[in-house]
Structure 1
Amino acid sequence: MKLRCPACGAAMSLEVLIAHDDAREALIALTGISDELTRAMLKYLTLFRPSEKDLSFARVAKLLGELLPMIRAGEISRGRKAYPAPREAWIWAAGRCLEARDKGRLTPPLSSHGFLLENITFWQPEATAVMSAAERQPRTAAAEQSKLRDGVGGLMAWANGAGDDG
């Protein structure tokens, strides 16, 4: 069975991939993460490819080996602080890395996962959650201020009411 790489167009037999130790390890690592996350990580890994040569299976296996423990843990550490890192955060952060490359703010090849991990520190579940088409409409500042004011008002009313009971 022949496979073609969507990134570089190289053709290779599946049997060769399975027989190659580093390629096999990379495939095993990829099977441990979701489809959407797999796609995001494969795109992200292209940022490590030197312009003059291919990214080796050994390098892919090493890079995935560095990421998988953090992906499985669902948490990262940066600057002695822990940050939540569910699958959605990894997908979002990988996308941000690719956007930065496309805008010229990130120049491949990368040598570490620092940029990806730094992006994860900015991930917020409510900002990146999957939304319905109706929810994707931009919100106005007045609507958000109204929600904030309503929430604060409700909290204050609750606090005042709780203070009266005790």
Structure 2
Amino acid sequence: MRLRCPVCHAEAALEAWAEDDAAREMMAILSGLDATLGRPLVAYLGLWRSASRALSWDRAVRIAREVLALEADAQRLAAALSQTVEQLRLKRDAGDVRPLTGHNYLKRVLEGTPPQASGAIAVGQVQPQPQRGGAARAPSATVDGVLRLEALKRRARGEAGDAG
């Protein structure tokens, strides 16, 4: 299955990504998060990439783990990530295009972010998505891709187990 990037229109085989341990791990991390946290986390990861290079899967996984370890309240972390991304994008628009090298800015924003109201969701806990009109919603393309990757992985394990 070939996938096309919606931004740069580059194509890559889903099977190729399934072969990369870090890519699978990153997709698993993102699929376990509510969209209100997953989207700002992905945007934050983009701030670590230099203008001339891609962010490696290994580095993205390490950064994502570090960020998720900063705060247990997923809503508070999502708010801080969103604010950080917004402010740093404004700086980039003004000409400062240096990639991030640490979490200090995010930590300062997080310190100034008030705790969220009761019913907060812990990081790593999946929040159920509201259903529209009682009908089941189709999974997002990301979730669908991760599910397919996991199916490929299980199939590969089964075939390897049969051969050995």
Normalising by the smaller structure, the TM-score range is 0.5 to 0.7
Change (3 A) 1:102 1:69: closer
Between structures 1 and 2, the one with greater strand share = 1
On the 8 A contact 1:94/1:116 being kept in 2, the answer is yes
Q: Which residue of 2 aligns with 1:117?
A: 107
**Counterparts of 1:27 and 1:109, CA distance in 2:** 22
In angstroms, what is the RMSD of aligned CA positions? Answer: 2.3
Q: Deviations over 1:116-164 (max 9, x none)?
A: 121111112469xxxxxxxxxxxxxxxxxxxxxxxxxxxxxxxxxxxxx
**Counterparts of 2:105 and 2:9, CA distance in 1:** 27
Displacement after TM superposition at 1:6 (Å): 4.3
**Counterparts of 2:37 and 2:47, CA distance in 1:** 16
Change (3 A) 1:107 1:96: farther
**Counterparts of 2:112 and 2:9, CA distance in 1:** 34
Change (3 A) 1:51 1:120: same
**Counterparts of 2:78 and 2:12, CA distance in 1:** 27
Displacement after TM superposition at 1:107 (Å): 4.4
On the 8 A contact 2:3/2:12 being kept in 1, the answer is yes
Tell me, which stretches of 5 or more residues in structure 2 are unaligned? 118-164
Displacement after TM superposition at 1:48 (Å): 0.2
Displacement after TM superposition at 1:42 (Å): 0.5
Displacement after TM superposition at 1:96 (Å): 1.4
Count of aligned pairs between the two proteins? 114
Q: TM-score, normalised by structure 2?
A: 0.60
Q: Which residue of 2 aligns with 1:88?
A: 75
Q: Which residue of 1 aligns with 2:61?
A: 61
Aligned partner letter, 1:100:
Q
Aligned partner letter, 2:88:
R
Displacement after TM superposition at 1:108 (Å): 3.3
SS at 2:12 equivalent: strand
**Counterparts of 2:116 and 2:62, CA distance in 1:** 32
Rg: which structure is higher?
Answer: 1
Between structures 1 and 2, the one with greater helix share = 1
On the 8 A contact 2:81/2:106 being kept in 1, the answer is yes
Q: In the TM superposition, what are the counterparts of 1:146-161 in structure 2 within 5 Å?
A: none
Displacement after TM superposition at 1:2 (Å): 2.7
Q: Which residue of 2 aligns with 1:10?
A: 10
**Counterparts of 1:17 and 1:25, CA distance in 2:** 11
Change (3 A) 1:56 1:26: same
How much identity, in percent, do the aligned residues show? 31
Q: Which has the higher contact order (CA 8 A, sep 6+)?
A: 2
Q: Which residue of 2 aligns with 1:144?
A: none
